Amino acid sequence: MKLSKLSRTILVSSAGLVLATLLTSCEIVTIDYLFVANSAGTGSSGSGEIQTYDVDSESGAIRNGAKPVSSGGSNPVAIAITADYNNLYVVNQASNNLVHFSIADTGALTQKDMVTTGPSPTFIAVNTAGTYLYVVSGPNPAMLTAYSLSGGTIGSVAAQETLSVPGYPGDTLAPTAVTVLANNNSVYVTAYDQSAYNPGGTTTSLANPGWVFGYGVGTGGALTPASGSPWKAGVKPVALAADPTNRFVYVTDFASNQMIGYTIQSGSVLNFLLNGPFSGGSEPTAVTIDPRGKYIYVSNGLSNTVTAFTISLATGTPTATINTTGSQTNSTDTDPISVTVDAALGRFVYTANHLGNSISGFRLNPDTGALSPTVATPYPSGSKPAAVATVPHGNHAIQSVTP
């Protein structure tokens, strides 16, 4: 990939090129590999691409790592990585497929196998046991599918559920995200009712537009709807994350500029946090929780920011974090739609900026959760990055960040 071919501003491209030159010319210690799924390749092909970057342990700056590879389809929209960091999965929305890659010690990706999914897959998640991979796809129909995994290889469909709004089975439901608890026992899916929420168009339903579905996971991966599921989730929920202690779930509502919190009860049941919802930036697009379970980071597509929250470990209540400048605003490049915390030591945060064709980096203060920009951020990426994820390099212990 040649950076001169990227659709970047002259200033950002120059900064990225200078940074790459400096990092290449000196010794750095790589703490993580950062993987970015680009909606379109950088060459003549229109297929998707996955880039690999090396993350510097001291500065958090990134440089080009292993050679980019094809995503195995068109328009990759989500990445999932197994807990042992040996396998990466990507869903390609335009080609309706799920592709498996092995991750080498160098960060290089090798395609292994693929399966055809339901129409328009939108998100994926893998359980910590590495035994099931969950894919949401739709609409028409809106589906949650669990694939069995063996040694990273994608197997047969273990379970499949059709999503529908209670009392409105004919409505068009669009699933947006899926997460699985760290204990492997529960799966949650966000979706919104396109028949009830259709900005700029007509609506045909009086149903509540936003929902979160919950399922218990049984023997053989069987999915059982939780009592009371689905639960209301604002207007247009587009992302969700569960804390690593299996106590809380957080959902971002794109249309209402807020985050909704839930406590997890027995039987995978969700209850609203009493003092929510919680305000942040404009059009929140993605959410992640740091490995300690102490901080939440939300990317905001319209305001081009990341909002940091500190979680009350007793109640799950998130409180917006003030950074060193005295502000709650952490600026990114244009249209951040994916956010992650580095998997190694939980010291850096990165966003994929879809319209900026870039990655923004932040240093995470482990004592407060506050963010500050990494050196020379943002960094040029391929065309329209849609998802970002990290794996540890392996030259350090990661136990220090587990809850």
Tell me which residue of 221, 167, 157 sits closest to 193, measured CA to CA: 167
CA atoms of 158 and 178, how far apart (whole Å):
16
Report the predicted TM-score, pTM, of the whole model to 2 decimal places. 0.91
Per residue of the chain (403 residues), give pLDDT as tens. 333 333 333 344 444 444 444 444 455 688 899 999 998 754 444 589 999 999 999 999 999 999 999 999 999 999 999 999 999 999 999 999 999 999 999 999 999 999 999 899 999 999 999 999 999 999 989 999 999 999 999 999 999 999 999 999 999 999 999 999 999 999 999 999 999 999 989 999 999 999 999 999 999 999 999 999 999 999 999 999 999 999 999 999 999 999 999 999 999 999 999 889 999 899 999 999 999 999 999 999 999 999 999 999 999 999 999 887 777 889 999 999 999 999 998 999 999 999 999 999 999 999 999 999 999 999 999 999 999 999 998 654 444 455 5
Question: What is the per-residue DSSP string for 106-172?
Answer: TS-EEEEEEEE-SSSEEEEEE-TTSSEEEEEE-SSS-EEEEEEEETTEEEEEEEEEE--BTTBTTS-
What's residue 246's pLDDT?
97
Q: What are phi and psi of 234, to 5 degrees?
A: 70, -140
Rg (CA), the chain: 20
Those residues with Cβ within 8 angstroms of residue 285's Cβ, 6 or more apart along the chain or in another chain: 238, 239, 252, 254, 299, 300, 301, 336, 337, 338
Token readout for 8 is: 């970047």
User: In this structure, which amino acid lies at residue 384?
Assistant: K
CA atoms of 296 and 60, how far apart (whole Å):
19
What's residue 326's pLDDT?
77
CA atoms of 62 and 157, how far apart (whole Å):
37
What's residue 402's pLDDT?
54
What's residue 126's pLDDT?
98
Contact 267, 309 (CB under 8 A): no
Q: Which domains does the chain have, with CATH numbers?
A: 3-396 (2.130.10.10)
Contact 352, 334 (CB under 8 A): no
Distances in Å between the Cα of 393 and the Cα atoms of 2, 84, 85 are 25, 12, 10
Hey, is 11 helix, strand or coil? helix
CA atoms of 309 and 322, how far apart (whole Å):
9
Distances in Å between the Cα of 128 and the Cα atoms of 80, 81, 370 are 11, 9, 28
Contact 195, 209 (CB under 8 A): no
CA atoms of 157 and 145, how far apart (whole Å):
7
